[in-house]
Structure 1
Amino acid sequence: MARSRSGVRRVGATIGDVASQAGVSLSTVSRVMNGSKTVDAALAERVREAAASLGYTASPLARSLVLGTTQTIAVVVPDLGNPTFQGALRGLSDGASEQGYHVLVADSHEQADEERVLALDARRRCDGIVLCAPRMPEEELAALLPLLAPAVVINRIPEPPAVGDGQEASSVPSVVADYEAGLTGLLQHLYSLGHRKMLYLAGSSQASSNQSRLAAIREFQASNPDAAIATSPCGVGFEDGHGSAQVVVDSGATAVLAFNDLVAMGLLSALGERGIRVPQDVSVTGFDDIPFARYTTPPLTTATIPVEQLGQQAWHRLSALLNGETPERDLSFGPQVVPRGSTGPAPER
């Protein structure tokens, strides 16, 4: 209950109660309670004190109407079932909630042609967007980003707009993992163990992160001509890795680099079913270091990415854009190799 200046107690403080106690207009109370910076600091403090003494809080809907915002951001991911994206979303959501924002999540279910539609639909419902669209063609991404602004991109660096296309040449902020450096580290780890015949189980041919991995393989082979690294189409899920066991056996490779941990875990399961020992017969590496990787049999050698930090840094940049500030520079995380029991010395053949 609230007590007005006349001494009459009311159930539930209203904006009128606050205006009366502070001696200001209703519009002034509305501007102060909804975060407007146009009110004199001393006057604003008086309003906040009155609101606190009466137990009054502004409704989120009223705040949105006054400020012209939804206090919501959107995140588009290719697969929410992947623990990597769950970790990034957790980091982003924690940062957003601290500033009073809600997070709307859209999952494209690995359907690249759905990413553009999902992103546009989500952006209409929120104030800004974080986009993780690894398979979207560069030209389509370049055309889409101006329609999504303010936006931040995760795990790929958008190409700057072409000169003369009517857009600014500056790129949209991005936060990425350096997949090329990560796979190079895994290749060096296997090479140091004596492996010279390796197999890479590739992800989607459209994915920018897969292209980065392939670039790492080409550069590594150029520097180490005695290493033979074959590539086989695979996928991004547990079942894809499980289904690749025969390809691995037929390749004669002594070490396999899976596109990610889920693929590697599926492969470990299938190899175990066939009586193929890891790492005595063949070594296996993953990528991402999801929470389950250390609990496989044997524990999975992988490259770790600080996914929660990736999400946090994406939020910092989007928050800056939402507040009319200049975001921090683009950030690239260098994955670190985590050797575990799934890799060992190359067997003698």
Structure 2
Amino acid sequence: MAKRARTTRIGISDVASKAGVSLATVSRVMNGNFSVDPQIADRVRAAATELKYQPNPMGRNLARGKTDTIGVVVPDLANPTFQGVLRGVSRAAAQDGYRVLIADSSEVSSEEAVLAGEARRRCDGVILCAPRMSPAELQELAPSLHPMVLVNRTTEAADSPCVMVDYGQGIQGLATHLAQLGHTRIAYVAGPESSASNASRLAGLEAFSQTHPHIELVFLQSGSTFEDGHESASDVLASKATGILAFNDLTAMGLLSSLNERGIKVPEDISVTGFDDIPFARYTTPPLTTAAVPILSVGEHAWEQMRELLDGAAPAQSRQVFQPHLVARGSTGAAAASSGH
């Protein structure tokens, strides 16, 4: 029996490529936004006609009407931190009679614009959680997504409130904790290069260096997952650092696991810190020292800002910043006297 050929649905990314414009421009043209240059708009419509692109009529109608649904786009649903943000958003939204549609870009920045646009067409507004796209892309896309709230990103685009965590301050607190324990060579196992919160951590460590010139900082490339942390162990040990700042709790846990497999004792041989204080952090062996983030509150405040936008009001606070706080547990201890540092 012959297999039925699969048909690939033409999307706005295909139209954008054909017309030589951005996804945001296609989105604006398809939604009847008259701010687009008429010649460019004609080119987009011609490309759409040639490709036989059919916008989802249900999605377009819902986006122009009221769906009582909010779209939330996250870079990695497997990360408990983003799960916490979603829980905060969905619980708060449910109290106001709203549901949440979730989209996961799987750390692929090129997917974010497509997912955000699709979510906006189906929902009354969009919350972008830690988007990985570039600042220029974010600023260009923002008007077509309004009402939009950003989590852990900012943009110059008007009417785009944000909820932030001060990762720079948080990483400085962890680095200071290690320095006070006598660690003079500290390694930072970095997160994804496209992560704005990773950039904030790097800026925080630069500030830490200015006030702690006797501390040697080593920077190691890694990622944001348990597997990334596990794979970083060789680089960590090669760095000869006695104190380790992992990008987040997941990478710290992966590192703890790999160090245990190699017979390296924590914190006797090496101290390890995480970031976020996800629910599992206190149950690792040893329990993980970390910077606690009020992640449920982050999600709740993101919804409060969105609700104000939906009501046609400017948010009382267009930029809400949360400060992490140090939670010292068993994974950090005094630097070993035999380390030579």
Q: TM-score, normalised by structure 1?
A: 0.77
2:47 paired residue number:
none
List runs of 5+ in structure 1 lacking aligned partners: 1-63, 162-169
* 1-structure distance, mates of 2:203, 2:335: 24
Structure whose alpha-carbon radius of gyration is higher = 1
Q: TM-score, normalised by structure 2?
A: 0.79
* 1-structure distance, mates of 2:200, 2:188: 13
Give the alignment partner of residue 341 of structure 1, picking from 291, 308, 330: 330
1:323 lines up with 2:311 in the alignment: yes
* 2-structure distance, mates of 1:69, 1:228: 55
Matched residue of 1:124: which SS? helix
List runs of 5+ in structure 2 lacking aligned partners: 1-60
1:290 lines up with 2:264 in the alignment: no
- How far off its partner does 1:243 sit? 0.6
1:90 paired residue number:
87
- The one-letter amino acid paired with 1:259 is F
CA contact (8 A) 2:130 2:196 kept: no
- How far off its partner does 1:244 sit? 0.9
1:80 lines up with 2:77 in the alignment: yes
Matched residue of 2:214: which SS? coil
2:261 paired residue number:
273
Matched residue of 2:316: which SS? coil
Give the alignment partner of residue 144 of structure 1, picking from 141, 146, 150: 141
- The one-letter amino acid paired with 1:89 is L
- How far off its partner does 1:133 sit? 3.8
1:179 paired residue number:
167
**Pairing 1:40-119 to 2, within 5 Å after superposition:** 68-119=65-116
Deviation by residue 1:283-340 (Cα, 9 ceiling, x = unmatched): 0000000000000000000000011100000000000110112212110000001000
Deviation by residue 1:29-87 (Cα, 9 ceiling, x = unmatched): xxxxxxxxxxxxxxxxxxxxxxxxxxxxxxxxxxx99x931111100000111111111
1:231 lines up with 2:216 in the alignment: no
* 2-structure distance, mates of 1:199, 1:89: 31
1:188 paired residue number:
176
- How far off its partner does 1:134 sit? 3.4
Matched residue of 1:332: which SS? strand
CA contact (8 A) 2:147 2:159 kept: no
Report how many aligned residue pairs link the two structures.
277
* 1-structure distance, mates of 2:278, 2:154: 23
1:256 paired residue number:
244
- The one-letter amino acid paired with 1:252 is K
* 2-structure distance, mates of 1:304, 1:86: 15
- How far off its partner does 1:99 sit? 1.2
**Paired-residue identity, %:** 54
List, as ranges, runs of 4+ consecutive aligned residues in structure 1 with deviation greater than 4 Å. Answer: none
- How far off its partner does 1:218 sit? 1.2
1:134 lines up with 2:122 in the alignment: no
Change (3 A) 1:239 1:233: same
- The one-letter amino acid paired with 2:289 is T
Give the alignment partner of residue 206 of structure 2, picking from 218, 222, 231: 218
- The one-letter amino acid paired with 1:113 is S
Give the alignment's Cα RMSD to 1 decimal. Answer: 1.5
- The one-letter amino acid paired with 1:99 is D
Deviation by residue 1:117-142 (Cα, 9 ceiling, x = unmatched): 10001100010010014321000000
1:42 paired residue number:
none
* 2-structure distance, mates of 1:108, 1:326: 29
* 2-structure distance, mates of 1:73, 1:177: 22
- How far off its partner does 1:171 sit? 5.0
